[in-house]
Amino acid sequence: MRRYGPALLLVLTGSAILRISLFSALYLRYVQAALRPYLVVSGVVLVVLGVLAAVVRRKQRKAYDEEEHEHEHEQEQDQDQDHDRDPERDHGHGHGHGHGHGHGHGHGHHGHGPRIAWLLVLPALALLLFPPPALGSYSASREAAQRAAQGVGRFPALPAGDPVALSVAQFSSRAMYDSGHSLTGRTVRMTGFVTHGDDGTWYVTRLLVSCCAADATTSKVEIRGAGDAPPSDTWMTVTGTWHPQGRLGTDAAWPPVLDATSARQVKQPADPYEKR
Amino acid sequence: MEDRRTVADGLRLAVRALVYAVLGGAALLAIATVASVLGPMLALDLYTPPVAAWWTVFTAIAVQGVPFLLLGTVVSAAIGAFVPARVFSRLLPSSPALAVPLAGAAGAVLPGCECASVPVAGSLMRRGVAPAAALAFLLSAPAINPVVLVATSIAFPGRPEMVLGRLVASLATAVGMGWLWARFGRDEWLRLPMRHAPAAASSGLRGFGAGLQHDFLHAGGFLVLGAAAAATFNIVVPRTVLDVFTGSPWLSVLLLAVLAVVLCVCSEADAFVAASLSGFSPTARLAFMVVGPMVDLKLIALQAGTFGRSFAVRFTSVTWVVAVVSSVLTGWWLL
């Protein structure tokens, strides 16, 4: 077990990466979509590397065993049988010291790989057994939703469609900064999870991730006219029209407001975050 | 005689495999039973939203670091196994004063974030590159490569001076640190793992595989350590604290420079985070982008693992100061 530690770690890490990137779309909870091919390649490389490491290890053991056998043959036959009976202990000791220097990666840790590497087990097992959930209302509430930093200006025209599907971030930047008022008179549809404000207001919120979940930022839209607030973290698709409020680009215009005509509960989308 | 041995070998192998399978199976079964009984009970008490968010951020940092770390270790193992030392002595000027800026500018060719550059710098040193030059490369590579600069220009649309400021300030910090090391650095602070003993047969494919395996596992362990620290800060320090400091320009520069250390945002994403910190002055945001790729918790962990703790403490603290000074000067000049 200790001898095959490095190989085991590589295979474990690789299969954890493959489980979330190749065999499911769970990687979207942690990183942005464009990283998928790199994750798949890394996972394959790690698994192959681990298998190779195990094979090399096994060969080295064989070579060592034979070397030992021949060596002992020259001396006496009895010793050989003794060795056969207890190859494990005999070997486990001799290998680490005898061969540690020869094959290049044993230096200082007797061929068992660096000890710190065992920390890799934590994220690997977490991903394999209990993949952590996507960030939700807790993270959104901890962080004051940020206004995208940009100046007031004219936005390109909205795509056709009634209702037109927008991301929460698109809606809120148009609502706050578009001097062309492209949202006026349009029915829009957005999907996000529910967060609560003071005195019964509620928001449809979405986290934006540009590289990994550690850099998540929040955008949100206040929902009016859709009845009582659903419980936090419920995923909702809301349809409605923009309710202008405050002067463009000022704090009064934030967060933007939607007069909802319908709000229905949906399943959490495969990609829980919005891409910038 | 030979036959007898093969049969005995085969039998021994089969018996051993059987024993492993039974023992391993029993252990797995026991773990699965305990986990399925205790898991839900514990989960109700311990898996609160902050804990869940911690696990998500922790695994996210580790997952997104793996491809870059692998790229870095592949490059570093390839340097160790296939590139003879004399190539570098011929390419780089022998005087550190000249080699440092050259190595700093060479950082532009390694497209990756900071996880990739630490193992590469380690293997450059093992290949006889002067530590000062390798350190300049270590600092500049994650900050000024094309991927990062393009990301910066996307994050700050219509403001090319941010991209230029980032390039200038990062390069100045990297070269400055290289020169400082050449002048004041001491080799005994550096503890390079002399993995490749001179006589060992460590070149060629076998050496490449062994180096790759060792470097990845070693750096991977430290990446996990850094990810845990970053996730802890991410959950413990609320971003609303930031609003308190936006008033003072000096405090805000220092605050964002500290934030860059504790948040450990990947250098390819930090421009977007900087852009979203809209309450701060451009200089403070520049400091965030210059410090982040050079000093952060997971980098400190990685450097401590690769070069030794006494090196990491001295080097990162001086780098932090130099990076802040350099971004303030650049910000005053350009922004």
Task: Give this complex's ipTM.
Answer: 0.80
SS (H, E, C) B150-172: HHHHHHCCCCHHHHHHHHHHHHH
Nearest chain B alpha carbon to A37: B67
What is the structure's pLDDT at A69?
66
- Cβ–Cβ below 8 Å for A39 and B265: no
Chain B, 86 to 145: residues with Cβ < 8 Å from chain A are none
Pick among B42, B159, B213, B259 to test the A interface (most A CBs inside 10 A) = B213
B130 in helix, strand or coil?
A: coil
Residue A161 backbone class (left: φ over 0; alpha: ψ -120 to 50; beta: rest): left
Interface test with B, best of A212, A219, A275 (most B CBs within 10 A): A212
User: Which of A62-71, A131-140, A230-239, B122-131 is predicted with the least confidence, judged by mean pLDDT?
Assistant: A62-71
pLDDT band at A94 (very low <50, low <70, confident <90, very high): very low
Please report residues of A whose CB lies closer than 8 A to that of B233: none
Please, are residues B291 and B320 in contact by the beta-carbon 8 Å criterion?
Answer: yes
Q: Which amino acid is at B23?
A: L
What token pair was written down for B301?
């962990």
B192 burial type by CB count under 10 A (0-12 exposed, 13-18 middle, 19+ buried): middle
Residue A149 confidence class, pLDDT cut points 50, 70, 90: low
Give the pLDDT score at A41: 94
**B262 interfacial to chain A (CB closer than 8 Å):** no
Q: Which of A110-119, A151-160, A259-268 has the lowest mean pLDDT?
A: A110-119
Inform me whether the pLDDT recorded for A48 exceeds 90: yes
CA distance, residue A14 to nearest chain B CA (Å)? 10
Q: Summarize pLDDT for A213-245 with one digit per residue, the tens.
A: 887 888 889 999 888 889 989 999 999 999 988
Residue B7 tokens, joined: 């049969």
Q: What does the pLDDT read at residue B2?
A: 54
pLDDT of residue B316: 94
Q: What is the mean pLDDT of residues A53-75?
A: 73
Identify the pLDDT of residue A190: 93
User: Do A214 and B268 make contact, defined as CB atoms within 8 angstroms?
Assistant: no
Residues of chain B found within 8 Å of residue A147, distances taken between Cβ atoms:
278
How many beta-carbon pairs under 8 angstroms link A with B?
194
Query: Where residue A42 falls among pLDDT bands split at 50, 70, 90?
Result: very high
Nearest to A144 among B201, B225, B239 (CB): B239
> What is the 8-class DSSP label of residue B127?
T
Per CB-CB distance under 8 Å, the chain B contacts of A30 are 56, 59-60, 63-64
CB A135 within 8 A of CB A207: yes
Q: Does any CB of chain A come closer than 8 Å to the CB of residue B40?
A: no
Query: Where residue A96 falls among pLDDT bands split at 50, 70, 90?
Result: very low
Inspect the interface and report whether the beta carbons of B57 and A122 lie closer than 8 Å.
no
pLDDT computed for residue A238 by the predictor: 94
Find the range with the poorest average confidence among A41-55, A121-135, B65-79, B183-197.
Answer: B183-197
pLDDT value at residue B198? 37
A204 vs B32, higher pLDDT: A204
Put simply, the answer to whether B225 touches A123 (Cβ < 8 Å) is no
* pLDDT score at B108: 82
In this complex, do B213 and A49 lie within 8 Å of one another by their Cβ atoms? yes
Facing residue for A104 by CB, picked from B63, B202, B221: B202
Say which amino acid occupies B214. Answer: H
Is the pLDDT at A39 greater than 50? The verdict is: yes
Which residues are CB-contacts of B204 (< 8 A; sequence separation ≥ 6)?
A: B81, B82
Q: What is the mean pLDDT of each run of 10 residues along chain B (335 residues)?
A: 68 81 81 70 69 90 86 81 79 85 85 76 85 91 85 81 94 94 86 51 72 84 83 75 70 88 77 73 91 89 87 93 95 88
Scanning every residue of chain B, which has its alpha carbon at the shortest distance from the alpha carbon of A134?
B56
Q: Give B255-274 as a DSSP string.
A: HHHHHHHHH---TTTHHHHH
User: Is the Cβ of B209 closer than 8 Å to some Cβ of chain A?
Assistant: yes
Shortest Cα–Cα distance, B24 to chain A (Å): 11
Residue A79 has pLDDT above 60, yes or no: no
Q: Cβ A143–B240 below 8 Å, yes or no?
A: yes
Q: Tell whether pTM > 0.90.
A: no
Q: Which residue of B has its CA nearest to A147?
A: B276
The structure tokens 């215009």 sit at: A253
B231 and A214 in contact by Cβ < 8 A? yes
Give contacts of B228 with chain A, Cβ < 8 Å: 122
Chain A interface includes B78 (CB < 8 A): no
Q: What chain A residue is nearest to B49 in terms of C-alpha separation?
A: A138
- Enumerate the residues of chain B whose CB falls inside 8 A of the CB of residue A142: 235, 238-240
Higher pLDDT: B20 or A14? It is A14
Structure confidence at residue B275 (pLDDT): 74
State phi, psi for A205 to the nearest 5 degrees. -120, 150
